[in-house]
Chains A and B, each alone.
Chain A
């Protein structure tokens, strides 16, 4: 016994999924993939492990510090275990599927592994599901993926969803316009990441005014957009704001009931995003359910957007569904009857040997009902 217990220790951040959580995760994953599929997205399934230089190329570079490496004894090259599936799907879209008509709609679902968990997300292995919409650079495409994430989660019964839209390029554009040097940019970034209005206000010249204004321009979409319209922005930033306005407008039709907030300065985790990005939240779940946004796919820098949902937080947001009841079939039950009951929606558990007291045996095997000669009888709860 003792040695069995010792063997059950798993490395940090890894765990066994047991009943009923294991089936819950699988059914939630199925629900998401089904929702992606009926919106015209098609599934791709990249391998778990790839050559490091391909996996960590382009947008994948952000995952370099999170990726497990191993040596391929066959080719003697370094391989990486995927820490995020987005770069893999982008690779497929821009290489093997390069000749397919655009816009290309792809989805995926699978496990990813990370070198280290974070304090809020201690898991090192997480299931991830998401979509990529490649070769479309319009506000309609941005709105489509946000609305799809919303609909997929809503189908699973997630309530109180909200999406926070950010414009990670806007701060870069303003910094360039003001001609800030690297140190000044870093100070601005660091203060904005912490929403430290005092630090921004203390900065020199036009920096305090414009970034102070940007910090104020967050919150519910209508209010934030009104505040953004008050600001004088450089051309590139103004274009992002106009796109935001179009996307929010479309979302009010496409995603009824979705709370939309705007935070133009949110940047953490969006370092490789090249345009409108977003984070999905549930009011009752700590941490985010998923995130996504614009990026450039492949060597040809094709315009793309998409999102990933993380199953650890999504599972906390999805209400557990009432599971089907288990019916105990005593030893020797007719096979046709057993088949009929399963078609009727029961989960059947067959007795492998004759039992005197079928009710007790049924209870022992966690069945709520027993099939007897008088029909189906409920097992009394003790």
Chain B
């Protein structure tokens, strides 16, 4: 873990970051200009706040960085938090951004003759094997998961498996690939997450940021 007053905030790349930027501005975190330059190769960025720096990583890695204390705070969707369920992560603030849901989908044709109540075993392509297994296990269904890192919608089309578990926001991608959402597993939003040891040993600094982000969310 870094030395005193040297806090690291881990943020995810991509879609969530666009929604997160205004919140960061309102919370008073202004990163150096290179942060907003998509061409920049830099990975770690300074900010206007002394001792606070930002790293930009993949959304799954945000949770890992924070769990191991490499970053003290981060922003991650509860899809990622549900998948890993690290005991070292606290998720104190719902940032009310990145709204979507994690759902089970299958080809439209199949859904017309399928009765999910009769399943005993399913094969599912997903980025979230843990969430998927837990969800189906709770219903008494054994799930065999095929881990993919993207383009889940392709899997049923190509005959890899018939069902997928993936994030859905508008449902357009599913529709375009001839899939239909049959079950929602959970609603997803992005959370401010903090490392357990960091919160316990630097309660004022980390607690201050939690309050600040909570205020920004309440005001928004």
- The chain A residues found within 8 Å of chain B, CB to CB, are 119-120, 160, 162, 164, 193-198, 215, 218-220, 259, 261, 263, 268, 279, 281-288
Q: How far is the CA of A268 from the CA of B85 in the complex (A)?
A: 12
Give 19 new A-B contacts, CB below 8 A, not counting A215-B92, A279-B200, A286-B69.
Answer: A119-B86, A120-B67, A120-B88, A162-B200, A196-B92, A197-B214, A198-B191, A218-B203, A219-B207, A259-B201, A268-B87, A281-B200, A282-B201, A283-B4, A283-B197, A285-B197, A286-B68, A287-B197, A288-B197
**Chain B residue, CB-CB nearest to A268:** B87
The answer to the question of B110 belonging to the interface, with a C-beta cut-off of 8 Å to chain A, is no
Q: How far is the CA of A178 from the CA of B67 in the complex (A)?
A: 33
**Chain B residue, CB-CB nearest to A288:** B197
Smallest CB separation, B1 vs chain A (Å) = 6
Task: Assess whether A285 is in contact with B88, with CB atoms less than 8 Å apart.
Answer: no
Residue numbers in A under 8 Å from B204 (CB-CB): 219-220
Q: Closest 4 CB pairs between A and B?
A: A198-B94, A195-B90, A286-B69, A283-B201
Task: Assess whether B81 is in contact with A194, with CB atoms less than 8 Å apart.
Answer: yes
Task: Assess whether A220 is in contact with B93, with CB atoms less than 8 Å apart.
Answer: no
Q: How far is the CA of A176 from the CA of B201 in the complex (A)?
A: 32
**Chain A residue, CB-CB nearest to B94:** A198
Smallest CB separation, B202 vs chain A (Å) = 7
The answer to the question of B89 belonging to the interface, with a C-beta cut-off of 8 Å to chain A, is yes
Q: Assuming A285-B1, A288-B197, is B91 touching A195 (CB within 8 A)?
A: yes
Task: Assess whether B200 is in contact with A287, with CB atoms less than 8 Å apart.
Answer: no
The answer to the question of B3 belonging to the interface, with a C-beta cut-off of 8 Å to chain A, is yes
Q: How far is the CA of A162 from the CA of B197 in the complex (A)?
A: 10
Task: Assess whether B91 is in contact with A194, with CB atoms less than 8 Å apart.
Answer: yes
Q: How far is the CA of A219 from the CA of B67 in the complex (A)?
A: 20
- The chain B residues found within 8 Å of chain A, CB to CB, are 1, 3-4, 67-69, 81, 86-94, 189, 191, 197, 200-204, 207, 214
Residue numbers in A under 8 Å from B93 (CB-CB): 197-198
Residue numbers in B under 8 Å from A160 (CB-CB): 201
Residue numbers in A under 8 Å from B86 (CB-CB): 119
Q: Which of A198, A268, A287 has the most CB of B within 10 A?
A: A198
Task: Assess whether A162 is in contact with B90, with CB atoms less than 8 Å apart.
Answer: no
Among A120, A193, A218, A283, point to the contact of B1 (Cβ < 8 A): A283
Smallest CB separation, B99 vs chain A (Å) = 13
**Chain A residue, CB-CB nearest to B4:** A283
Residue numbers in A under 8 Å from B68 (CB-CB): 120, 286
**Chain B residue, CB-CB nearest to A259:** B201
Residue numbers in B under 8 Å from A268 (CB-CB): 87
Task: Assess whether B197 is in contact with A281, with CB atoms less than 8 Å apart.
Answer: yes
Task: Assess whether A197 is in contact with B94, with CB atoms less than 8 Å apart.
Answer: yes
Q: How far is the CA of A75 from the CA of B15 in the complex (A)?
A: 64
Among B67, B87, B200, B214, point to the contact of A261 (Cβ < 8 A): B200
Residue numbers in A under 8 Å from B189 (CB-CB): 198
Residue numbers in A under 8 Å from B90 (CB-CB): 194-195
**Chain A residue, CB-CB nearest to B204:** A220
Task: Assess whether A220 is in contact with B203, with CB atoms less than 8 Å apart.
Answer: yes
Q: How far is the CA of A164 from the CA of B69 in the complex (A)?
A: 18
Smallest CB separation, A103 vs chain B (Å) = 29
Smallest CB separation, B141 vs chain A (Å) = 20
**Chain A residue, CB-CB nearest to B78:** A196
Task: Assess whether B1 is in contact with A284, with CB atoms less than 8 Å apart.
Answer: yes
Q: How far is the CA of A198 from the CA of B191 in the complex (A)?
A: 10
